[in-house]
Structure 1
Amino acid sequence: MRWLNDQRHFKPNKTQFALTQKGSAGVFHFVKPHIFEVDLHDASLRTKVPELDALFHSTELLQVLASHLPHYELQFGTSDRTLKLQRNAGHGGCFPCHYDNPGAPNKRKLTCLLYLNEGWTEGDGGEVQLFPFLQPPVTVAPKMDRVVLFQSDWMLHRVLPSHAERYVLTIWLDGAKVNAPEDSQLRLTQSDLADWFGFLDRLRRSPVQRLLSRGVYEEEYYESLMQCMQSTATEGCVELHETHLENVKRNAPLYNFIQRLRDVRAMTNEDPVYVK
């Protein structure tokens, strides 16, 4: 990875912000300061490092994961997986709160992170922080050879500011049944209200939470956007975030429901988890 960086093959990473205004959906892109990546779908780059080309075509990881997670129906074609090398140059580089699969037509089901940071020490930063819906956050240190797995379509997460150079290999694996129509529609029935705690448990394990997370985690989104963008295009990101929240507030039933979920989150008595 250092050789690829020395040869200037890493390109700036961009963050994507989807927003619906006046009934029409739009997507905005912002360059993240200090974050760079190599997409291994680029065959000309893979061939420069034979080990990476072999990894790209290997199905060993897929076979193991598919045997333990058959209900995900992971796909085996090279077009059904994405591999990226990422370099964080430090200087506070980080990622805002996001889902790796924000919605259709994306088919990502599983995210695999492999950290490649020799000599990482507490204080270097760059931890991934996971937000299991309505539950305490889980923060994981990016130590050498550590692997982190989570569901791409229902695990909100961010990367905390890094104060040292940080490398990671990310693999996204597609599933056969991802982003079905019911995954992008919030339907709250009387039976859901009657079994409130059962409904919350289902929501924690459902992609539907993506429709609610910007309101439920309003402060975390705002903080992570400010940290990520630093002085670069901060106003544009914050404006889009605030516009989304304004759209939510105009829908009184949805806004009231989000407030109820925020209350649920505030009442948790469990402590945040830090994996050293």
Structure 2
Amino acid sequence: MFVKATGLADPLVASCLPLNVATVKPGHEIITQGDDGDNFYVIDSGKYDIYVNTDSKNRKLVGNYNDEGFFGELALMYNMPRAATIVAATDGVVWGLDRQTFRRIVLKTAFNKRKKYEKLIEGCDMLKSLDMYERMNVCDALSSQTFKDKERIIAQGDKADCMYFVEEGEVRVAMLNKADPKATSEQEISRVGPGGFFGELALVTRKPRAASVYAIGPTKCAVLDVYAFERLMGPCMDIMKRNIDNYESQLTAIFGDKTNISDLR
């Protein structure tokens, strides 16, 4: 499980590392916000809550891990105090990698990936509501995909499994008006360029895709899968829900009547 969670090459590599395994009980505080970082942790099993201090006496639950994931890397990567508190919510097992080994093996790859996506996230208005810890976790969860000119990225009516952030190029959003039985061709709704995003509405409404999306020229997108979306994007949910009204206004202007995105099939 450790090898799978960290992306290390194989069990032989893992067996050569100075790993420490710990069994934890509910309520066990594994790392504490403000402390110096000593270890990077990988989850083998169990559920873990993430808390961030709101003031000297209170803290806020901002997310959790469930049987997978890792934490504690921020303090080691940026030589800063712990940015959050991690508390075991159930019985579990975690693996620890000491600071020196972490920096030697993991830091370069993780740092390069985060740098790759930091600029993209900084340019996305929706993600500005995330704190640094949350943004770094989004960086870790993203992966890049490239698309050819006119390639369909999303098909209207499909089940939603991810959302996209445009890194390079441009996409067009088009819709077939299913309320009109005579409609035979899609109409363009909007275009999205670098720093923009799309595909989030179906994840918010838990409905099939409301429109199709096509690449305009060579296009590169960062992809956030549905599981990471549900775990990381809670602070952005209000913004995404407000976007539904904006899209519905666009559809009214194009199709001439009120279209409820959340009811589209």
**TM-score, reference length from structure 1:** 0.28
Give the greater-gyration-radius structure (CA). Answer: 2
TM-score, normalization: structure 2?
A: 0.29
